[in-house]
Chain A
């Protein structure tokens, strides 16, 4: 068994600079946090005295709630900054907004922004830690960490990522979830197959070793250990990236029938929110193969482990 290592990162911007053993250590901490979440009283004092602020320049209630819960279970103070009602809409620059919030003396910011790279930029302007909660199409590291954690826990007979295959189906081009999962799974030694209409599968992702594209769902799912369906946004149809929802469903919907080609223990994932019977067949989402509910449940303990790992040990 791998020794647990110290996580020495100040930020979680993406997973590129996190090593496999750091990720495994984070998941061990997550195991301990899972136990806390199974108690009657879900409260530990580990982050007492720390202040965490959520800066959501792009709306996402469920991700923000998941982070907020992760902070509060550990007794941190939580400040919520919703960009909609803030002075950003009055023309204030990002830097000035950050300066103002910095005066509240938060130790860590959880940032979501439509523009890729915003969390990086903010990390240069503040001494606080930054957690990327999604930036543009770039990265959503905590989602990938909880997806990988879910596979580690839910795949029957799990014995590591090496030799495993994840198939991601859908709009990979616009998906930060897909990019972060590619980074995570390939780092851990798994193979990633991307599947969808050619217009939605950027060729440059094949630069990662262990990643290949496949335009036929039957082939992409063959032997897969995990299949992840991505949300198909109707707006993309107007952009001319695929002809019709009906055609997309016919060719790329992940169905119970299709899953027969996968590994016998294969699990089905979806990062949510899902369009039932569009990218994933409704009955499959409710079936035994589906770990969608587990993904949501694992969000809080994974984020607890992230906050613990970035805050504790940095000294004051």
Chain B
């Protein structure tokens, strides 16, 4: 099954503006900014979390810690799948007990990754609350899960694929729409 490129949905400037707005929303909504911890889901939730942390530091002069979460061990399809997902290291540098977590991921789709991420976070401690930040919400949820901070909501069909590129992971920045050809 190949993927055909359709169009660029967001360029670097549009990503920057969206992430900027999300950073302001996080600052506004958090009861206590010093208790906030940004947790990025491997792989492309991490650059989003780092970007948000940098902006919050820029506006508020506060270092918001960034954690890395791998959700592989919590996937709900491990007994069924025919390929083996690579497990990466979870690194959350602070005790999350009582903290306000902002879970960050590049795209929200079925909601299953977020479900797994919530279980993974709960195993690390008991945060006071967890909110969700995504760069792109592409719809088609299979679970009752919604994002609190959204860079852009985009209507998609199930045969389409959203591909997010960040400098640190892909060498350039942008959001592309692709179509799978079966």
Contacts and interface: CB of A to CB of B under 8 A. Distances in A.
Interface of A: 4, 6-7, 25, 28-29, 31-33, 35-36, 39-41, 43-50, 74, 305, 308-309, 312-316
A2 to B, nearest CB: 12
A316 B80 CA distance: 6
Interface of B: 70, 72-74, 78-91, 119, 123-125
Contact of A313 (B70, B83, B88, B124): B83
Contacts of A316: 79-80
Given A313-B81, A315-B80, A29 B87 contact: yes
B123 A41 contact: yes
Nearest to B89: A32
16 contacts: A6-B84, A25-B86, A28-B86, A28-B88, A32-B70, A32-B73, A35-B90, A39-B123, A41-B123, A46-B74, A47-B78, A49-B78, A305-B87, A308-B73, A315-B81, A315-B82
B114 to A, nearest CB: 16
B82 A32 contact: no
B50 to A, nearest CB: 20
B73 A36 contact: yes
Contact of A50 (B72, B79, B125): B79
Contacts of B89: 31-32, 35
Nearest to B122: A41
A309 B79 CA distance: 12
B119 A308 contact: no
Nearest to B82: A315
B123 A313 contact: no
Given A32-B70, A39-B124, A45-B119, A4 B79 contact: no
Contacts of B84: 6-7, 309, 312-313
A32 B88 contact: yes
B78 A44 contact: no
Contacts of B86: 4, 6, 25, 28-29
A45 B74 contact: yes
Nearest to B120: A44
List the 4 shortest-distance A-B pairs measured between CB atoms, nearest first: A313-B84, A46-B73, A315-B82, A44-B73
A51 to B, nearest CB: 11
Contacts of B70: 32
A33 B84 CA distance: 16
A174 B90 CA distance: 40
Nearest to A45: B74
Given A28-B86, A46-B74, A74-B73, A312 B123 contact: no
Contacts of B72: 32, 46
